[in-house]
Amino acid sequence: MDIIEILFTASFWAAAIRIASPLIFATLGELICERAGVLNLGIEGIMVSGAFAGWMAVYSGTGLWIGVGVAMAVGMLFGLLHSTLTVPFGLSQHVVGLGVTLLATSSTYYAYRLALPEVTSPPKIVAFQPYEIPLLSDIPLLGPALFSQTPLTYLAFVLVAVVGLVLYRTPLGLAVRAAGENPAAVASQGLSVTAIRMGAVIIGSGLMAVGGAFLTMSAFDSFFFEMVNGRGWICIALVVFGSWRPGKAMLGAVLFAAFDALQIRVQQTSLGAQVPYQIFLMMPYILSILALVVTSRRAEVPAALMVPFNKGER
Amino acid sequence: MRLEPVNNPSFGRKLVPPALALSATIVIASLLAMIAGANPFSVLGLIIKGAFGSKFALLETLNRATPLIFTGLAVAVAFRAKFWNIGAEAQLYAGALITVLLGTGALAWPSGLILPVIALIAVFAGAILLLVPALLKTRFGVDEVVTTLLFNFIFLLFISMLLEGPLKDPMGMGWPKSARLIPEARLPRIVDGLRLHWGFALAIISALCVWLIQTRSTLGYEMRAVGLNKQAAGFAGIPVNLVLVKTALLSGGLAALGGFSEVAGLKGSLTLDLSPGFGYTGIIVAMLALLNPLGVVIAALFVAGIFVGADSMSRAADVPTYLADIMQAISLLLMVLAIMLTRFRVVRD
């Protein structure tokens, strides 16, 4: 099949939207953290923990949405740990973030081994099923691509708008953005920079975990080791690519996912079969680096990103 | 709450927080082992016995520490200049790749010649690999954390491609594994009969060299100045970008030397599981060592001890082996907190 032909099939765009969904959750989560001034490198591990927690909850008999809630709660716990160390104690955000990733990943694997000691292949759950939105899903091409997705995908796109509105149209959003740009000004207004930053990291980490849960509860129906496979790091690149704006970050995620969906399809063509599969697997990472190079010149980095705030200091 | 610097920390203030961090790590690990059904009071003993309890255990710990000294040094050098190299994993594989490219018959020279040549080219390869993120940072302002992290994935896929293609050992029964090194390209053992190779000695020498560079050379001074305050260093006439590039070259080279040492000293061939995350663990080692090159040696022995000891403990007590990783993560997080508390006092408003 020709590449141009692939671009005009509904199944291709449906796949792109599906692949973009977990990235959107996690990218929004990272964006909220960074907007408040905290780089959260715990993202990769938090996604792993969310993927496991949500799936395990459903496997133990809870409803799907409760599972999403459990995943979010676990993510928020790791967010609490991360933000306690990086915000009031002002420890290196790089080191704490990588430490949280290692802790979240290894404790998830530990829990998995304890919960399912003997299994060779992990059990499956009944995952979220596609829900066809009446009328809209009948539109040719667009309908099956955009409006026959699972509820979690719709939630991801709704969240883009919600996060955008909160960040730019509410006093809370202003406080979060100010904490990332000029924390001293926030403190002079009588607000607690510590509380705002910690809150942002906790909420953001919750969203990252939901992004991970999407993988086990919507994209697939089971949990595997190495499942997240660097998606968290890609989301960090997507935040930069999106200039720290929710809408642009979403566009970046869809663009990235479309490319990912395309490479899977090209891999299956007769031409693609002659290329080592590793080349295709490298593409997302190479693309992320290229995106960073292209956008970094005009990036509007939050001025106080990675700068700890200690009230006593002037 | 806020933090106030302590000017002349007392002996107790320097000692108590790290000791508490260490004890807390052990308590948490014991509790986790208890959840898995093991006797929590036997955990610490089993770890120490597994890491240092016999000649075999001790040699295993030293062998495990060797690559960690290299990656720990690579990270310590880079972090000192606030260059966040998270890509020691890829640079280690770059060194390993050069070792099998040149050591499986391409160069048929005597040991005394082939080993230094391979080591040098391996260092060069690791340095070049980190040069790309370094230049992206200095030229385009691209954050090196993300690029070095993503490079790990790219480079491992590249190695996987080579191992399933041109580098695949025809005698390997279909496994993605390189051919074995020729005997001349193997690092000999330090003492006959003891499973410890010259890579360990090379690691110690490297640590001394890095310490000398950092404390006795202009470059070391410049690296510290750039790390403390980039702008001030620039005003003082230090070529900040050039120093960052030199730091990157040194850091990448050190990690690659770890790959050379693992392949030429221990494994003898290249597989995709050469490193169970030595590059990432190097970050833990460097942080525990307070970025001090000589401290890296001690921290690497400690982390390797946890790894070997927890591995042996988990087999003895039937606990999932991931406990070792959890212990490393907790000791890292608690130790950075403890080290901060030795220098700052928490004050309530």
Q: A67 near A54, Cβ under 8 Å?
A: yes
DSSP secondary structure letter of residue A132: P
Kindly state whether residue A135 falls inside one of the protein's structural domains. Answer: no
Residue B5 pLDDT exceeds 80: yes
Judge: A237–B283 Cβ closer than 8 Å, yes or no. Answer: no
Q: What is the mean pLDDT of residues B51-63?
A: 92
Kindly state whether residue A193 falls inside one of the protein's structural domains. Answer: yes
Q: A200 near A179, Cβ under 8 Å?
A: yes
Give me chain A's average pLDDT, please. 91
Kindly state whether residue A170 falls inside one of the protein's structural domains. Answer: yes
Residue A13 pLDDT exceeds 70: yes
Residue A102 pLDDT exceeds 70: yes
Q: Could you tell me the residue range of the domain that residue A11 belongs to?
A: 3-114+143-296
Residue A314 pLDDT exceeds 50: no
Higher pLDDT among residues B222 and A120, named by residue: B222
* pLDDT of the residue at A82: 98
* pLDDT of the residue at A98: 93
Higher pLDDT among residues A206 and B180, named by residue: A206
| Tens-place pLDDT, residues B126-155 | 999 999 999 999 988 888 988 999 999 999
- The beta-carbon neighbor of B329 closest among A102, A113, A286 is A102
Nearest to A101 by CA among A219, A282, A231, A237: A231
Judge: A288–B146 Cβ closer than 8 Å, yes or no. Answer: yes
Q: A262 near A254, Cβ under 8 Å?
A: no
Residues in A closer than 8 angstroms to B330, CB to CB, are 103
Q: How is residue B197 written in tokens?
A: 């190779």
Judge: A292–B146 Cβ closer than 8 Å, yes or no. Answer: yes
Q: Angle, nearest 10°, between helix axes A10-35 and A193-214? A: 160
Nearest to B327 by CA among B16, B50, B75, B7: B50
Q: What is the 3-state secondary structure (H, E, C) of B141-162?
A: CCCHHHHHHHHHHHHHHHHHHH
CA distances in angstroms from A10 to A6, A138, A146, A273, listed in the order given:
9, 12, 9, 23
CA distances in angstroms from B240 to B145, B223, B243, listed in the order given:
18, 9, 5
- The beta-carbon neighbor of B153 closest among A105, A240, A285 is A285
Which residues face B177 on adjacent strands? B271
Q: A249 near A238, Cβ under 8 Å?
A: yes
Residue A233 pLDDT exceeds 80: yes
Judge: A107–B158 Cβ closer than 8 Å, yes or no. Answer: no
A310 → chain B, closest CA residue: B2
Domain count, chain A: 1
Selected residue of B71, B153, B160 to mutate for chain A interface (largest A Cβ count, 10 A): B153
Residue A148 pLDDT exceeds 90: no
B 18-37 near A (Cβ less than 8 A): 32, 35-36
Is B154 part of the contact surface with chain A (CB cutoff 8 Å)? yes
Helix, strand, coil percentages in chain B from 3-state DSSP, rounded to 5:
75, 5, 25
Q: A260 near A284, Cβ under 8 Å?
A: yes
CATH number (domain holding residue A67): 1.10.3470
Q: What is the mean pLDDT of residues B78-107?
A: 93
Kindly state whether residue A307 falls inside one of the protein's structural domains. Answer: no
Judge: A293–B322 Cβ closer than 8 Å, yes or no. Answer: no
Domain ranges of chain B: 69-289
Higher pLDDT among residues A291 and B129, named by residue: B129
What count of CB pairs under 8 Å joins A to B? Answer: 132
At residue A1 the predicted structure's pLDDT band, cuts being 50, 70 and 90, is: low
Q: What is the mean pLDDT of residues A212-236?
A: 93
Residues in A closer than 8 angstroms to B164, CB to CB, are 276, 278
DSSP secondary structure letter of residue B6: -
- The beta-carbon neighbor of B329 closest among A91, A103, A278 is A103
Selected residue of A44, A83, A89, A277 to mutate for chain B interface (largest B Cβ count, 10 A): A89
Give me chain B's average pLDDT, please. 91
- Give B96: exposed, middle or buried? Use CB within 10 Å, 0-12, 13-18, 19+: buried
In whole angstroms, what separates CA A286 from the centre of its chain? 19
Kindly state whether residue A45 falls inside one of the protein's structural domains. Answer: yes
In chain A, % of residues over pLDDT 70: 97
Is B235 part of the contact surface with chain A (CB cutoff 8 Å)? no
Q: Which residues contact B172 (CB under 8 A, 6 or more apart)?
A: B179
Judge: B332–A279 Cβ closer than 8 Å, yes or no. Answer: no
Q: What is the mean pLDDT of residues A44-64?
A: 96
Q: Give B292's Cβ-side CA count (13 Å radius).
A: 7
Which residues face B344 on adjacent strands? B5
